[in-house]
Amino acid sequence: MQNCSQKFGEIMTTPKISVVMPVYNREQYLKESIESILCQTFKDFEFIIVDDQSTDSSWQIIQEYADKDPRIVAVKNTGKKGCYSARNCGHRLAKGKYIAVMDSDDIALPNRLQTQFDFMKRNPEIGICGSWARMFGDKDEIMQMPQNHEEIRDFNFFYCPMIHPSVIFRNTNLILYSENHSSAQDYDLWSRMADKLKFANIPEVLLLYRVHNDKIGSAKKEEQDNNANLVRMKNLSTIGINLSEQEQRIYLDIINWNFTPKNKSDLLISVKMLDKISLAGIEHNYGNQFQETLRNFIKNIAISGIQNKLTSLNLYFTIFRKWKIFETLRANLRYIYHYLRNLLHA
């Protein structure tokens, strides 16, 4: 167990919620984040803030707030150990029935904790609950996520289904992050928990998610994408799918919408691979969202298939009709039309 070093402002009562927030060099945004929690309409919480050896004034800011509000538990790591290690440290210290995740550059809307507390109380079968969020800063858009457990489990197979700093969960030893990598370990956690706990997302914006240049740099983005891809490969293994190196490359390109078939072989491999994944998904009780996502992938491949006269009809009669990719007679005729057009103009 990690030695979390010094604790300040620890409260003696047992709160209903423990808010856990790791901090590393966030002096520019930290006050807004802290105040957004302290100003919640729900008051029965402790606020565990774990500083991961910041080199700016973040620790001083944390101490100032801890001196004013006894709900704050200020923790300073003995060395820089990373975001997920800091989160695990906070989880181990948490006394609340629920643990709410928070990031040190985001803003929780005033009703966030009350809304999630009420939801968890009304739905005792739910183990992990997130919400929608609104991006602000360099972007302005609402992040909408799937709502019920079945949709979340299906979506999780391909993409991260939760907005991490919007999440609250029941305080259990099950929920700890892997510390093997410095990014995408929330996605890894949801994937490990998807068959052990029930998930939900409240279809309401409860968090302002800040987007800025420091959020994730290009090198960190590449690392995050690579780690997310490792999770996707693990997800495949849970349904008994093991891919060759060529298939892995194609599969990850498809998921990231970067698939450009180089030849007839790539096209046929991609569609047959997705067909195999579809059948395995059915065997492992994946639902409509899972199959719809695969259909969308194949629709995208179908567009590429039209461009190749050697594979167009092969794909059409062996896969596309079987998957009902073209739901109407008009759509089927349009595909044949484009095939003939390409053939005649080749």
CA atoms within 13 A on the CB side of 166: 28
Q: Quick one: pLDDT at residue 182? A: 73
| 8-state DSSP, 73 | E
The phi, psi pair for 275, rounded to 5°, reads -65, -40
List per-residue pLDDT tens for the chain, 346 residues long: 234 444 444 544 799 999 999 999 999 999 999 999 999 999 999 999 999 999 999 999 999 999 999 999 999 988 777 888 899 999 999 999 999 999 999 999 999 999 999 999 999 999 999 999 999 988 899 999 999 999 999 999 999 999 999 999 999 888 888 888 777 899 999 999 999 999 999 999 999 999 987 665 545 778 888 899 999 999 999 999 999 999 999 999 999 988 877 776 777 788 789 889 999 999 999 999 999 999 888 777 766 655 555 555 566 555 555 656 555 555 555 555 555 555 455 5
The type of residue at 24 is Y
Domain 6-215, CATH class in plain words: alpha beta
Q: Quick one: pLDDT at residue 114? A: 98
Closest listed residue to residue 261, CA positions, set 317, 301, 299 = 301
Closest listed residue to residue 289, CA positions, set 145, 150, 126, 143 = 150
Sequence-distant (≥ 6) Cβ neighbours of residue 179 within 8 angstroms? 81, 82, 84, 85, 88, 185
Q: Quick one: pLDDT at residue 213? A: 73
Cβ-defined contacts of 305-314 (< 8 Å, 24+): 305/267, 305/271, 306/335, 306/338, 306/339, 306/342, 307/342, 308/261, 308/264, 308/267, 309/339, 309/342, 309/343, 309/346, 310/264, 311/264, 311/267, 311/268, 312/339, 312/342, 313/339, 314/268
Q: Where are the domains of the chain?
A: 6-215, 239-344
The shares of helix, strand and coil residues in the chain, as percent rounded to the nearest 5, are 45, 15, 35
Q: What is the pTM of this model?
A: 0.84
Count other C-beta atoms under 10 Å from residue 130's C-beta: 27
Sequence-distant (≥ 6) Cβ neighbours of residue 208 within 8 angstroms? 106, 107, 108, 109, 133, 134, 135, 136
